[in-house]
Structure 1
Amino acid sequence: MRQAIEPTLKLAITLHHLAEGSSHKSIANHYRLGRSTVSNIIYATCDALYEALQPTYLAVPKGKEEWKKIAEGFVFY
């Protein structure tokens, strides 16, 4: 049976991809893992990060007043 990949390694692989834009194949070679394994790790970790961070950092404004307040922060020419 294969050993499970540690969560810290999964995060490192994902951050490597996001920071450098490296291909899944080159990251797989770097960490000595299969390309499909690396792809699955990156997609799963990004999904988990989105689910955890979305409510706080990507919340959709509620109501017209919030939208207007946000729009006022932009300069239109």
Structure 2
Amino acid sequence: MRQAIPPTEMLAVTIRYLASGMTFTDLHYAYRLGTSTIREIVRDVCRKIWEILLDECIPPPSDKMWNECEAGFANNANFPNCF
């Protein structure tokens, strides 16, 4: 059985893919991993990032948030009752 891919390398592959726009084949040569392995790594790491940062970056809307949004439309665009 072969060695597991370290999390730091998985994160590096994903960041390189997202930042550079390299194809999975290009990353295959750069990191010496299979293209299907890279595809799974990128998918899994992106999913995990989404799960962890979802509530922090996109909080669930509250009544206060909706009221502020409505007031902003009413004041700035003269467009009342818009959510």
TM-score w.r.t. length of structure 1: 0.84
Which has the higher Rg, Structure 1 or Structure 2? 2
Q: What root-mean-square deviation, in Å, do the aligned CA atoms of Structure 1 and Structure 2 show? A: 1.8
Instruction: Mark the CA change 1:55 to 1:37 in structure 2 (over 3 Å): closer, same or farther.
Output: same
Identify unmatched segments of 5+ residues in structure 1: none
Q: Which amino acid aligns with 1:66?
A: M
- Which structure 2 segments of 5+ residues have no match? 78-83
Deviation at 1:37, TM superposition (A): 0.1
TM-score (norm 2): 0.78
Q: Which residue in 2 is equivalent to 1:34? A: 34
Q: Calculate percent identity across the aligned residue pairs.
A: 34
1:1-77 aligned within 5 A: 1-63=1-63, 65-70=64-69, 72=72
